[in-house]
Structure 1
Amino acid sequence: MLHFLAQQNDAIDSEADCHKKFIARCLFSKDVQRMQFSEGPFQLYCDDFRPSNVLVDIENVRIAAAIDWEYTYVAPVEFSHVAPWWLLLQAPEDWESDLAEFIARYMPRFHLFIDALRAAESDVISDGKLNDSQRLSLQMEKSLDNKLFWVCLAARYSSMFDDIYWTFIHEAYYGKLTSLNDRLQHLDQGEQSKLDAIYRIKMEQAEDGKLDTHYSLDDIMEL
C-alpha cells in the first residue's frame, strides 16, 4: 500500500484502475490477517536464496557457500514453508504476463522438486539428523493450495502484486469477482473514505510529474 500511495508517476491508468488497485491492497491486508503466522521467536530469512546464489564444491559434491545476503531479514517460519519460486530459473519479473502459462510450466518442476526433497529428507531422517515432523516437503506442497505461496510472493514483488492478487488470492476469500462495488462492503469506513479521494490524489501526483526524493544525495551516499 505504501508503494502504491507514494508512487508519483504511472501508478494508475484510469479511475477504475486506481480503485481496483486500492481495493486489492485493502483486501490483501485483511487476507494476511486471516492467515495464522507464528508469533515468534523469529529467525533470519534469506529472500534471495536460489541456485545462482549458491557456490558448489564439485570435487566433494557439497554446498560450499551461499552468497548475496542483502535481501535478508527477520521473518515468520512460514516464509520457509513456501515452495521455491526459482524452479524455472527465472526471477518473477521475467515470468510470462499470463500467470496461467507460468503455472503450466512451473507445476511439473514443482512436483519433481517435492519428490527430490522428500527423498532427501527421508535419508536424513534415517540417519537420525531430522525428525519426521520437521519435513519441509509437506509444508511446501500445501503452500500452493493454501495460497501461502502467492501471498508471500505478492508481498515481496510489488510490481506483480495486482496480477498475483486477482489471479490467485482474491477468489479464495471473496468468491469470483463480478464487480468492484460488491467488494466495497469488505472495506471499513476509513478505507472507503480514502477510496473517494485516492484518484484525485494520484492525478495530482501525475500532473505534478516530480520524483518524490525521500533521501538527499548525501543521505544516499551514506547508505
Structure 2
Amino acid sequence: MDDARSKYAHRGIFKAISSHLVSDQHDRGPFKLVCDDMRFGNMLVNNAKDLKIVAVLDWEWAYTAPYQMLYSPPRWLLIKKPIHWDVEDLPHISYLSQYKSQFQIFVKILEEVESQREQDMGTTLTGEKMSSLMRKSMNDGKFWFHELVYSCFESADNPAWSAIREIIPNLDELLGISENELDAFIDDKMEQLRLYNVEWAALKKEIDREAAEFEALMNKMEKEDANEI
C-alpha cells in the first residue's frame, strides 16, 4: 500500500514540475536524434592510448526528442547511470557528489573543445554553446527531470528525486492530489491485487494439475520402455 501511495504521489509531483522543467524555447523543436543507451560499453575506440571514439553501438532505443534532452549532461559519467546508483549497497559513496565532480571535468573539456573549434573555424559559434546549456541543465534540474523520464519517473527511491529536492526544496508541496484521491487510488489498486491473486491461485492450481499429469505420463512411458527392454 505504501509503495502504491508513494508512486502515485510522485506521479502527481512529476506532472506538477513538468511545466517548470520543460523548456518553452525547445518544447516544439528542433528535435534531435537521441541514443538512449549511450555508455562506455557501447563505444569503440581506436586504441588504448588515443581513446578516440570511432563507433557507437546499440541504437535500438534511439529516438527523436526535444533539443533540451540532447544538451542534457551525459548519464554515464560514473559508468553507472543514476537509476543504478545503489545507495543501500554502498552507503559510503556519495554518487551525487561524485557525479557533479565528474561533470565539472567533462564540461570544462567540452568548453576547451568548443573554443578550439572556434579558433579552427576563425569565427564565433552562433547560438548558446552546448557547454553552457549543459551547465544550465544541471543547475536548474532539467538533467534530473530527464532522468525521471528515462526511468519511468514514479519510483520514489530514484536518485533523481533527491537531486531535484535540492533544487526545489518544497517539492512535496506541489502535489496536487487530495488524500481522498490517494485513498481511492490505493483502494482500487488493492482490489485489483486481490482479484489478481484469486485468478493466479486458480491458474496455478490448474498448472500444477497438468504438471502432475504430465509427470505421471512420463513415468508410465519410462516403465513401459523399461519392460520392453
Q: TM-score, normalised by structure 1?
A: 0.71
Cα contact 1:31–1:173 (8 A) shared by 2: no
How many Å apart are 1:67 and its aligned residue? 0.8
The question of whether the paired residues in 1 share the 8 Å contact of 2:69 and 2:146 is answered with: yes
**What is the alpha-carbon distance in structure 1 between the residues aligned to residue 124 and residue 154 of structure 2?**
36
Measure, in 2, the Cα distance between the counterparts of 1:61 and 1:199: 52
**Does the alignment pair 1:53 with 2:42?**
yes
Q: For the Cα contact (< 8 Å) 2:73–2:143, is it kept in 1?
A: yes
Structure 2 equivalent of residue 69 of structure 1: 59
Residue 31 of structure 2, aligned match among 42, 55, 72: 42
Q: Is the 8 A contact 1:121 1:130 kept in 2?
A: no
- Give the 3-state SS of the residue equivalent to 2:76 in structure 1: helix
Distance 1:161-1:139 versus aligned 2 partners, 3 A rule: farther
Q: Which residue of 2 aligns with 1:25?
A: 11
Q: CA, structure 1 residues 68+104, in 2 after alignment: closer, same or farther (shift >3 Å)?
A: same
Task: Give CA-to-partner distance per residue, 1:56-110, whole Å, 9 cap, x none.
Answer: 2239864322110011111000001111121111133431326982112222211
Q: 1:136-185 deviations in whole A, cap 9, x for unaligned?
A: 111112222100111000111137742345423356456165xxxx655x
1:33 corresponds to which letter in structure 2? Answer: S
> Given the superposition, is the C-alpha separation of residues 192 and 43 from structure 1 closer, same or farther in structure 2, using an over 3 Å criterion?
farther
Contact 2:7 2:154 in 1 (8 A): no
Tell whether the 8 Å contact from 2:73 to 2:134 is kept in structure 1 after alignment.
yes
1:142 corresponds to:
136
Distance of 1:64 and 1:132 partners within structure 2: 27
Q: Which residue of 2 aligns with 1:86?
A: 76
Cα contact 1:44–1:73 (8 A) shared by 2: yes
Report the structure number with the largest CA radius of gyration. 2
The residue aligned with 1:112 is 105
Cα distance in structure 2, aligned partners of 1:159 and 1:33: 15
User: Are the counterparts in 2 of residues 155 and 161 from structure 1 also a CA contact under 8 Å?
Assistant: no
Counterpart-to-counterpart distance in 1, 2:119 and 2:13: 45
Q: Does 1:175 align with 2:170?
A: yes
CA RMSD across the alignment: 3.1
Distance 2:163 2:71 in 1: 18
Equivalent residue letter for 1:109: Q
Q: Which amino acid aligns with 2:80?
A: Q
Aligned to 1:157: 151
In the TM superposition, what is the alpha-carbon distance from 1:50 to its structure 2 partner? 2.1
What is the alpha-carbon distance in structure 1 between the residues aligned to residue 18 and residue 171 of structure 2?
A: 19
Q: Distance in 1 between matches of 2:140 and 2:45?
A: 33
Which residue matches 1:201?
188
What is the DSSP-based 3-state SS (H/G/I as helix, E as strand, rest coil) of the residue aligned with 2:38?
A: coil
Displacement after TM superposition at 1:131 (Å):
1.0
Regions of 4+ moved over 4 Å: 170-174, 191-194
- How far apart in 2 are the matches of 1:155 and 1:66? 23
C-alpha change, 1:176 and 1:78, in structure 2 (3 Å) is closer
Please, what TM-score do these two structures have when normalized by structure 2?
Answer: 0.69
Q: Which runs of 5+ in 2 are unaligned?
A: 201-229
* Contact kept? 1:147, 1:169, Cα under 8 Å: yes
Cα deviation per residue 1:102-143 (whole Å; 9 max; x = unaligned)? 112222211111111111111111111871535211111222
Amino acid aligned to 2:149: A
